Amino acid sequence: MELLNKFLIKPLKIIYQNKVGFIGFLIVIFYVLMAVIGPLFIPLDKSPKPELMYQPPTWEHPLGTDYEGRDILSQIVHGSRDVLYVAFLAGFLTVLIATLLGSFSGFKGGKWDFLIMAVADILLTIPQFPLLSVLAAVMRLDYTFLAVLISVLSWPTLARAIRSQVLSLKERDFIEAARALDLGTRHIIFTEMMPNLMPYIAINFIFAMTGAIYTQVGLVFLGFVPFVSHNWGVMINIAWTKGAIFYKQSIYYILSPIMAIVGFQLGAILFSRSLEEIFNPRLREE
């Protein structure tokens, strides 16, 4: 019960007290539920209905219809799964790699620090999106491999920041005491240092997710990733190729996936406000 209160009930209370963060939390939960269980309740509309082409929003079609008269809302719901899957996986792997390498580099120093930071510097000099575009076009990536590739190219910036934090932390008295007691590198990093790094890591997880969404949707829109589902990037690509930007009656078709992306990004950024208070008690308003 104590663990439940510490890791679930208390954080939820802190989120609720931060109104901006709570709104962001609700938005993120809405998107997660839409991706996980939404397709079970809203079937994908695959049947062309030319007579309903580019219809405005109605009760039957809340977001209108596309160039073949199919429901846009069902495409948004079914497309959310792949977008959020890549976002969460890429964000998690980016933070995991950056945290492990950055903390190890900063704590150990010496040749390990030089080697890891040299690799990070090399990756930072490579334009990420053009490289991903070339690799995606040549290798025909699936979404899992795409998430892995995004994370492999995205970790250096966060790793450098975490390294700087660790360099500062390891001069603190409690770290010196832990080293004097010979508690070991693993214990010092994960038990002594990690609680101090968690606020920064959690917030950067949000930013890594949002960056992964932009990258994925951009690659899909440009056609470098196979069209295997009604991804939001696929919807934008099809809307563009069908000339949706030139006809005012088709505005709902091209705006719907764009606003879906903006909505999730907004929710994630607002939610990050409450994450700061969860991990840093000094920011909480009593």
d(CA 164, CA 93): 20
Give the integer Cα–Cα distance in Å for 102 and 61.
Answer: 49
Distance CA 277, CA 286 (A): 11
Q: Name which residue leads in pLDDT, 111 or 181.
A: 111
Is residue 166 in some structural domain? yes
In whole numbers, what is the pLDDT of the chain averaged over residues?
84
Distances from the Cα of 149 to the Cα of 104, 127, 196, angstroms? 22, 13, 29
Q: Is residue 22 part of a domain?
A: yes
Number of domains in the chain: 1
Res 1: pLDDT: 58
Give the C-alpha separation, 9 to 7, whole Å: 7
Taking 60 as the threshold, does the pLDDT of residue 7 lie above it? no
Looking at residue 229, its pLDDT comes to: 67
Nearest-angstrom CA–CA distance, 215 and 2: 41
Please, are residues 99 and 201 in contact by the beta-carbon 8 Å criterion? yes
The answer on pLDDT for 280 being more than 70 is no
Could you report the per-residue pLDDT of 129-170, keeping only the tens digit for each? Answer: 888 888 887 777 788 888 999 999 999 999 999 998 888 887
Q: Which of 67, 35, 126 is nearest to 244 (CA)?
A: 67
Query: Residue 124 belongs to a domain with what CATH number?
Result: 1.10.3720.10
**Across 4-27, average pLDDT:** 77
In a domain, 211, yes or no: yes
What is the separation, in whole angstroms, between the first and last Cα of the chain? 24
Structure tokens belonging to residue 266? 């907004």
The total of other beta-carbon atoms located within 10 Å of residue 218's CB is: 16
Reported confidence tier of residue 283, pLDDT bands at 50, 70, 90? low
Count CA within 13 A, CB hemisphere, residue 105.
23
* CA dist., res. 271 & res. 262, Å (int): 14
Mean pLDDT of 27-44: 92
Residue 154: CB atoms within 10 Å: 24
Please give the Cα distance from 139 to 155 (Å, whole number): 22
- Mean predicted confidence (pLDDT) in 2-30: 77
Asked if pLDDT for residue 217 goes beyond 50, the answer is yes
Answer yes or no: is pLDDT of 96 > 90: yes
Reply yes or no on whether the pLDDT at 92 is more than 90.
Answer: yes
> For 75-90, what is the mean pLDDT?
92
Expressed as residue numbers, the domain containing 172 is 18-38+68-281
In a domain, 75, yes or no: yes
Q: Tell me the two tokens of residue 122.
A: 């090399």
For position 89, what pLDDT does the model report?
95
Least confidently predicted of 82-86, 150-154, 166-170, 172-176: 172-176
Look at residue 8 in the predicted model and tell me its pLDDT.
66
- Per the CB < 8 A criterion, the answer to whether 3 and 253 are in contact is no
CA angle 71, 73, 76 (to 5 degrees): 120
Lowest-pLDDT choice from 137-141, 187-191, 251-255, 275-279: 275-279
Predicted confidence at residue 282, as pLDDT, reads: 53
Q: Regarding predicted confidence, which is higher, 225 or 7?
A: 225
- What whole-number distance in Å separates Cα of residue 210 and Cα of residue 87? 7
Rounded distance between C-alpha atoms, residue 167 and residue 169, angstroms: 6
Unique residue bearing structure tokens 């939001």? 232
94: confidence class by pLDDT, cuts 50, 70, 90: very high
User: What pLDDT sits at residue 213?
Assistant: 92
Range in 2-16, 28-42, 98-112, 167-181 the model is least confident about? 2-16
Whole-prediction pTM value?
0.85
Q: Residue 9 in contact with residue 241, Cβ under 8 Å?
A: no
Quote the pLDDT of residue 286: 47
Rounded CA-CA distance 165/147 in Å is 27
Note whether residue 59 is domain-resident. no
More confident position, 96 or 6: 96
Q: Which pair of structure tokens corresponds to residue 177?
A: 């005491």
